[in-house]
């Protein structure tokens, strides 16, 4: 039976949990995660864990914060006022958006807390500081072509809005001020 090697296209189903047991992400048989091993589309530790595995094989892995989304950094937060947002914006904790700084640079952010007129914006990844646990099963190896994989990524990449002010770019994360956020691979 074939074993997974670098450059193979793999399909997996998985459940990702925080250390406390809360599920933060999953993929099932109807919508598995496809990725090319060695391309950096998933966490490197996860990629390493699948190498040498076979179709149908189950695995699990714990990933420390420094090997996932980094440690939480309080310096990556910013206190602003509600007035800094568009007047018609419906603000709520967890709201994701792109923040444009005075130099015109954009960065992915989310609202951490709202206290009266004070809003705390957080630039940490939402999973920063968390140990992650994955239970997974290998569904297929090279069952699709690289062109089919690229087409999947293109189909799910973009903010999905028709806003000319959309700040999507060719980085790993695309989004816009409409509150939508999509992760691109």
Helix, coil or strand: residue 12: strand
Q: Would you say 109 and 96 are in contact if contact means Cβ atoms under 8 Å apart?
A: yes
- The residue ranges of every structural domain in the chain are 9-70+127-144, 74-122
The CATH architecture annotation of domain 9-70+127-144 reads Roll (3.10)
Q: Model's pTM, two decimal places?
A: 0.73
Q: What pLDDT sits at residue 143?
A: 84
| CATH number belonging to the domain at 74-122, selected among 2.40.10.330, 3.10.50.30, 2.40.30.110, 2.30.40.10 | 2.40.10.330
Whose structure tokens read 């966490």?
Answer: 43
C-alpha torsion 68→142→146→32, nearest 10: -50
Q: For residue range 71-129, what is the model confidence (pLDDT) as tens digits? A: 999 999 999 999 989 999 899 999 998 888 788 888 889 999 999 999 999 999 999 99
């Amino acid at each position: 039976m074939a074993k997974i090697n670098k450059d193979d296209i793999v399909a997996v189903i998985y459940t990702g949990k925080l250390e406390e047991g809360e599920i933060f992400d999953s993929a099932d048989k109807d919508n598995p995660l496809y990725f090319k091993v060695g391309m950096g589309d998933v966490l490197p530790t996860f990629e390493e864990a699948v190498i040498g595995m076979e179709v149908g094989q189950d695995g699990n892995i714990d990933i420390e914060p420094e090997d996932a989304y980094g440690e939480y950094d309080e310096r990556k937060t910013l206190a602003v006022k509600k007035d800094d947002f568009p007047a018609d914006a419906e603000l709520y904790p967890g709201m994701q958006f792109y923040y444009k700084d005075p130099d015109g640079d954009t960065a992915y952010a989310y609202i951490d807390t709202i206290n009266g007129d004070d809003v705390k914006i957080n630039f940490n990844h939402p999973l920063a500081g968390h140990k992650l646990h994955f239970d997974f099963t290998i569904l297929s190896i090279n069952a699709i072509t690289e062109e089919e994989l690229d087409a999947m990524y293109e189909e799910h990449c973009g903010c999905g809005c028709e806003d000319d002010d959309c700040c999507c770019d060719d980085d790993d994360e695309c989004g816009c001020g409409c509150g939508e956020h999509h992760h691109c691979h």
